[in-house]
Structure 1
Amino acid sequence: MADPITSRSRRGVSSPDAPATLDARRRTLPRWHYLVALLAGAANTLSFAPTPHGGWLELVIFAFFFAWLTRTTSWKSAALTGGAFGFGNYVTGVWWLYVSMHDYGGMAAPLAGAAVVLFSLYLAIYPALAAGVWSFCAGHARNGARDADPPFSPTWHGALAFASAWAIGEWLRGYVFTGFPWLASGYAQVDGPLAGFAPVAGVYGVGWMLALVAALIVQALVRAREPRGVDSARRGTRVATPALTALALIAAGLLLPLAQWTTPANAPLTVRLLQGNVKQEMKFEEAGMRAAIDQFQQMITSKPADLIVTPETAIPVLAQQLPPQFASAVRNFSDSTGSAVVFGAIGGTITPDGRVVDYTNSLFGVTPGTRDVYRYDKHHLVPFGEFVPWGFRWFVNLMSIPLGDFARGAPVQKPFIVHNQPVSLDICYEDIFGEEIARNIRESATPAGVLVNSTNLAWFGNTIALDQHLQIARMRSLETGRPMLRATNTGMTAAIDANGKVIGRLAPFTVGSLDVTVQGTTGNTPYVTSGNNTVLAVSLLLLAFGFAFGPGLARRRNGNGKP
């Protein structure tokens, strides 16, 4: 059996006659193996925004990552390799959290840096778990260490196990402890060759397909490097089949965007997305609050549109305490121009004795011709920023920023109606949870045709977080077949069509208004219909098959030399 990395001197390959202690020593991978995996993970950060068409780079890096995994000789070394790759990816991909904790939160630099490292180590648990599970389900961990042949042999069930384990690991990362699916591998494919699978199976399904294609490429390369035998036709088949399958999947990903899962509905809307560029350090000071309210009052009433949207907490006061001048100006402007206005403010309930309880991060909507005020309350809250996880009050106390425990809104909330067009609102990083966006469409009595995200990324300064969040929003449009509108404080304020293409954007850190026209849609993509259930069910089924039959397949392969 050929070695995918070549080298008979590679650690992990030993004679069956060698003593057990010598065999174990030879199977211990050198430390630089894990360093290379870490560097590969760091390089994978370059696949994400702002790198254009980074999906192709990611495919190359994932093929290398899988080939590197094949050097491992036990589930432990596989898990360490996956963890090193993940840590390299996350510590270079979410370093901007340091900016929020240190620059704006006032946390000491060493503590903020340590927090980013520890958080990245936590996130790395999930790719480590995925690599370890792959090692078991491919029959590699339980059989390779007993055989004279190198422990890795390219198999179809091994490739499917890698794709499935990777998808399950990413889903768990986006679910456990309220989830943090930032840098899910599928996001880099927004402009890549596999973006067409997004409306079918969502971002985790795109990641599943990425891992499968990468594994098949490695499988084909390994087969191509095997010694030429008498049965050259069979050898050619073993090379061509995985290679052609990988090419077919890439072709499908490139062609699937031609499919129309949704159709235009209702009249197009003229939209104004406001970007105030209010400095974060001034946002909650008395003078800064008054200036922000005056600024957004002027921006809202400067020009009519079907829909006008401000950033998250653009009006940083309790809704019941809105200045009368702002409230009357917005109401009169809406009634006189026919403009619907959505603005961010703080929600809350005032008790009979005058206390404010159940604070919420909210959006309020004013519709022309009615005194009713629409309200959306954020459901998926940010740990440490909007609620304090149990046992972490000490950590929050290290930062001098206004944090607190907010109440949660309902998982599914009614849309905001703008000229007969239902609009689904979400706040801040709620749009990184595609399943929740899909659920809101799927379970709503009036499914939305337009998505709106109102956010404030000023916490993260001028970093890659802005580009990454825009890329995430584009994935939501691909998954749902609906346009996404983003009103942000400092950037990226943008409009995205139903095909995930940016049709307009404002330069970051400028004050301005983005005027666009968007067409709402109706109908459900397969992902909206089933959410993450499809990729989870397929992955669990394939992993169960691999775990049950993988070892037997490996034994038969190593026993008779056949795949």
Structure 2
Amino acid sequence: MRAPRGTALPMLFAALAGAASVFSFAPFGWWPIQFLSLAFLFYQVGMDTRIKRSTLIGWAFGFGWSVAGMHWLYITMNRFGHIPGPLAVFFVCLLGVYMGLFGAFAAGVSTWLRRRLALPVTSFLLVVLPFAWGVSEWMRGWVMTGFPWAASGYAHNISPLAGYAPLIGVYGVGVIAALCAGCIVMLTQRARMLGMGVLASVLAAGFGLTFIQWTEPVGQPITVRLLQGNIAQTSKFDPEHIARALEQYRTMVMAEPADLIALPETAVARIPQNLPPDYLPSLQQYAASSGSHLMFGIPIADGPGMVANSVVGMSPGGRAYRFDKQHLVPFGEFVPAGFRWFVDMMRMPLADMTRGAEVQAPFPVKDQLVLPNVCYEDVFGEEIALQLRSSARPATMLLNVSNLAWFGESVAIPQHLQISQMRSIETGRPMLRATNTGATAVIDGRGNVVASVPNYEYGALRTTVQGMGGMTPFIRFGNYTFLLLGALALAAAGLLSWRRRAAPPA
């Protein structure tokens, strides 16, 4: 599709503006940059009613946003997948081409609605564009199994907009962020006072909402130990190093008892049938003798070609627990149709893994109920909310086990920590993180990191954690709230525009 005359330069600037948004996320945390980044896009789209032009500019913005926000995938492909550097860059850009389609959707559909409904610029900037942006990010979270990393709402775990997260979730926060960007663009219009008023009101309301306690303490606190083995990815699955890693983690487990001792994803890197006969029994014996509950990542084979990425729990009384990862990673845990060539190119011994049930029970630890999720499963907040509201006994704390060594010394680790913080804010529950190289941390029910182990270091985090119970609005209704509110606002804007057109001339 050929760009309209005069669009190439705005597309370039839009891509740069989208790329600048990376500084709004961790580890930088300069969240106001996101308002300015989105404001640039909205200004470019709002000042022209050509659908094709808006679509191309939206695509360029989404391309820049995705490539900058997920550039660490280059490390996975080049360092660990052995793909040559230029080709790895190409594949990262190819992902950006796909992700840019969601930005194109937001800008193109918004402009189409503006022309179709004859909307004034105020409704366009304050209703249509913000809602379309939020819908595009929501779609990015489930189309083609979903890849919602760097959704705009994650930048606001430390901003006043965090107060909206327990109500409308991260995508709803993204809509509010886009609304703030629309208000900034309104400062260039005649109705600048309206823009200033809405911006101030939105920020003030969000700040006020942060003082609401949606959940309450449940039971007695438990002591936890979160282990970080810092095992290099190049040796993690090397047969010569697996035995050493197994012994390392067993030593770490037995160093000190705790109510809950949690190990990272695939800390035990072999299926049980291939472990030394005494390995798992020795852990169970330690759990019984020390009064500790153990949770650790391990692959479990239920039959030929049926391997699950699992979390196993051992209790002092001998009660066994198992959680299987449900939301699998494309190219990491299953091969999308038609892409076996890509996996073969990376020389990864990958087969399709089996999926866990959509709703799985939490693991009882004294007075608390611990619900695990594996690696990037915690990017899907609506799935965690579904588990909490569907469980007969909802979890009182969450546990993420991860291995982010795949991404080297990049921004992926602080970004993932920020994602976990948003899950805590949405659900009002503490999140425990046991990871291989970082970020191993404890996050309280308000999204604050209260304790952590330095990244890329061997260590164990010991602390006390209070479980939380109760339901936030987001747990109860998931993403339906922001979708319904946005649809109502859009309908109201269309109705007002129709009545304005239908009114007889003065």
TM-score for the superposition, normalised by structure 2: 0.95
SS in 2 for 1:448: coil
Q: 1:251 aligns with which of 183, 204, 218?
A: 204
Amino acid in structure 1 at the alignment position of 2:15? L
Q: In 2, Cα distance between the equivalents of 1:374 and 1:105?
A: 33
Correspondence for 2:9 = 32
Counterparts in 2 of 1:556 and 1:43: CA distance versus 1, 3 Å: farther
Q: In 1, Cα distance between the equivalents of 2:292 and 2:198?
A: 52
Amino acid in structure 2 at the alignment position of 1:86? G
Given that 2:60 and 2:100 are in contact with CA atoms closer than 8 Å, whether structure 1 keeps it comes out as yes
Are 2:312 and 1:364 aligned?
A: yes
Are 2:112 and 1:136 aligned?
A: yes
Correspondence for 1:114 = 90
Equivalent residues in 2 for 1:99-498 (5 A)?
Answer: 99-139=75-115, 154-156=121-123, 158-223=125-190, 238-350=191-303, 356-370=304-318, 372-498=319-445
1:545 is displaced (CA, Å) by: 5.5
Q: In 2, Cα distance between the equivalents of 1:541 and 1:519?
A: 39
The more displaced of 72-81 and 163-172 is 72-81
1:310 is displaced (CA, Å) by: 0.5
Q: In 1, Cα distance between the equivalents of 2:77 and 2:192?
A: 51
SS in 2 for 1:397: helix
Q: In 1, Cα distance between the equivalents of 2:412 and 2:249?
A: 24
Given that 1:270 and 1:517 are in contact with CA atoms closer than 8 Å, whether structure 2 keeps it comes out as yes
1:156 is displaced (CA, Å) by: 2.8
Spell out, residue by residue over 1:320-360, the C-alpha distance to the aligned partner (whole angstroms, 9 max, x if none): 3332332232112111111100011111114xxxxx34100
Spell out, residue by residue over 1:478-500, the C-alpha distance to the aligned partner (whole angstroms, 9 max, x if none): 00000001111011111100000
Correspondence for 1:227 = none
SS in 2 for 1:487: strand
Given that 2:46 and 2:124 are in contact with CA atoms closer than 8 Å, whether structure 1 keeps it comes out as no
1:464 is displaced (CA, Å) by: 0.5
Spell out, residue by residue over 1:450-470, the C-alpha distance to the aligned partner (whole angstroms, 9 max, x if none): 000000001110000011000
Q: In 1, Cα distance between the equivalents of 2:340 and 2:498?
A: 47
Given that 1:221 and 1:239 are in contact with CA atoms closer than 8 Å, whether structure 2 keeps it comes out as yes
TM-score for the superposition, normalised by structure 1: 0.86
Q: In 2, Cα distance between the equivalents of 1:364 and 1:158?
A: 49
Equivalent residues in 2 for 1:80-99 (5 A)?
Answer: 80-99=56-75
Q: In 1, Cα distance between the equivalents of 2:56 and 2:267?
A: 45
Q: In 1, Cα distance between the equivalents of 2:341 and 2:81?
A: 14
SS in 1 for 2:352: coil
Given that 1:29 and 1:77 are in contact with CA atoms closer than 8 Å, whether structure 2 keeps it comes out as no
SS in 1 for 2:261: strand
SS in 2 for 1:138: helix
Given that 2:398 and 2:432 are in contact with CA atoms closer than 8 Å, whether structure 1 keeps it comes out as yes
Q: In 2, Cα distance between the equivalents of 1:490 and 1:463?
A: 11
| Larger radius of gyration between Structure 1 and Structure 2 | 1
1:71 is displaced (CA, Å) by: 2.8
Q: Cα RMSD over matched residues?
A: 2.0
Are 2:477 and 1:530 aligned?
A: yes
Given that 2:224 and 2:258 are in contact with CA atoms closer than 8 Å, whether structure 1 keeps it comes out as yes
Q: In 2, Cα distance between the equivalents of 1:34 and 1:439?
A: 39
1:413 is displaced (CA, Å) by: 0.2
Given that 1:56 and 1:193 are in contact with CA atoms closer than 8 Å, whether structure 2 keeps it comes out as no
Spell out, residue by residue over 1:39-98, the C-alpha distance to the aligned partner (whole angstroms, 9 max, x if none): 11111111111013x222212322232122223331111111111111111111111111
Given that 1:158 and 1:546 are in contact with CA atoms closer than 8 Å, whether structure 2 keeps it comes out as no
Spell out, residue by residue over 1:226-262, the C-alpha distance to the aligned partner (whole angstroms, 9 max, x if none): xxxxxxxxxxxx4433321221111011111100100
Q: In 1, Cα distance between the equivalents of 2:371 and 2:487?
A: 32
1:179 is displaced (CA, Å) by: 0.1
Gaps of 5+ in 2: none
1:184 is displaced (CA, Å) by: 0.3
Amino acid in structure 2 at the alignment position of 1:275? Q
Q: In 1, Cα distance between the equivalents of 2:285 and 2:62?
A: 53
Correspondence for 1:45 = 22
Correspondence for 1:18 = none
Counterparts in 2 of 1:551 and 1:78: CA distance versus 1, 3 Å: farther
The more displaced of 319-328 and 243-252 is 319-328
SS in 1 for 2:210: helix
1:541 is displaced (CA, Å) by: 3.9
Counterparts in 2 of 1:386 and 1:260: CA distance versus 1, 3 Å: same
Counterparts in 2 of 1:36 and 1:153: CA distance versus 1, 3 Å: farther
Given that 1:138 and 1:546 are in contact with CA atoms closer than 8 Å, whether structure 2 keeps it comes out as no
Correspondence for 1:6 = none
Amino acid in structure 2 at the alignment position of 1:528? I
Q: In 2, Cα distance between the equivalents of 1:328 and 1:73?
A: 68
Given that 1:157 and 1:550 are in contact with CA atoms closer than 8 Å, whether structure 2 keeps it comes out as no
SS in 2 for 1:495: strand
**Number of residue equivalences:** 503
Amino acid in structure 2 at the alignment position of 1:425? P
Q: In 1, Cα distance between the equivalents of 2:160 and 2:474?
A: 19
SS in 2 for 1:258: coil
Q: In 2, Cα distance between the equivalents of 1:547 and 1:108?
A: 51
- Matched residues, percent identical? 45
Q: In 2, Cα distance between the equivalents of 1:120 and 1:388?
A: 20
1:552 is displaced (CA, Å) by: 7.8
Q: In 2, Cα distance between the equivalents of 1:218 and 1:280?
A: 46
Amino acid in structure 2 at the alignment position of 1:406? M
Q: In 2, Cα distance between the equivalents of 1:217 and 1:97?
A: 33
Given that 1:55 and 1:193 are in contact with CA atoms closer than 8 Å, whether structure 2 keeps it comes out as no
